[in-house]
Amino acid sequence: MKTKDFMYDGEKKLDLKKLSTNGKEYKPDKQKTIEKTAKMLPRLGELQSRLYAEAKEGLLVILQAIDAAGKDSTIKHVMSGINPQGVIVTSFKQPTSAELAHGFLWRIEKAIPERGYIGIMNRSHYEDVLTVKVNKFYKSYNMPGRCIDMSEKEFFKNRYRMINNYEEYLSLSGYRIIKIFLNVSADKQKERFLERIDNPAKNWKFSASDLKERAKWDEYREAFEDAINATGTKTAPWYVLPADRKWLTRYLVTKILLETLEDMDPQFPKLSKEETAKLGDYKTALLNEK
């Protein structure tokens, strides 16, 4: 099972109807897969420490999915082996009035961490070509006619172009970008919604709006396909991962992050010869303390 099997970087077209949401075709062994994930976490933590110390590159991880696909639990599990000091997680909710009064990338730019950090976006600027598209929110935007008086196809074509340009800008500013779509089935979403209703500890996670959005399943699937096909690039590839089995999803996300960090190959900063020579004196001073 290679991560490239799940990659969309412009070389091939995504058709979600043809993709498995459980990954059974790869015949993964659950226990072995869980063990492999656990073995990768220490190495992930080591590379993250180097990334933080070097502060030369940043890693941006974008998570998108339909509700109940497992974004929160994936973040919690995969990041369990990483020092929280070097990770910034941003969850994007419905835009505020101030955010709507700016360009749609404004709130995203504010969330980009310094180089040296891993920035995780739980939803992102892609909501502006997903939820906005499905619900036609853009039609009510307080913007000049030259910005919105056009066909839906043209409007979102412009947004895809802006996103690609923005992600290229981030890349040229020293960031690696990983975009992950958790591909859950309608049946599994239903099962997880019912669990949220039946389990008092998870009641807070359920909202009536979830059912309204579920009724637009086909529209969302089309919106995801369009967005991924239009914005999957060599610079910022998408990974479309089966999300019905969380243990498999976590393994793939961990592996993608690990492979990316290994390719980045961050190193601990090296002291100059002069600074290194002084270390002996510092050690002597400490040992001679009374």
What is the rounded CA–CA span in Å between residue 156 and residue 148?
Answer: 10
Torsion region of 72: left, alpha or beta (phi above 0 gives left; psi -120 to 50 gives alpha): alpha
- pLDDT for residue 227: 98
- pLDDT for residue 219: 97
- Multiple choice CATH, 3-287, 3.40.50.300, 1.10.1790.20, 3.10.290.10, 3.30.9.100: 3.40.50.300
Across the chain, which distance is largest between two alpha carbons, in Å? 78
- pLDDT for residue 214: 93
**pLDDT, tens digit, 9 for 90 and up, residues 228-262:** 999 999 999 999 999 999 999 999 999 999 999 99
Nearest Cα to Cα of residue 64 among 165, 169, 208, 163: 163
- pLDDT for residue 83: 83
- pLDDT for residue 158: 98
- pLDDT for residue 160: 98
- pLDDT for residue 135: 95
- pLDDT for residue 172: 98
Kindly give the parts of the chain with pLDDT less than 50.
none
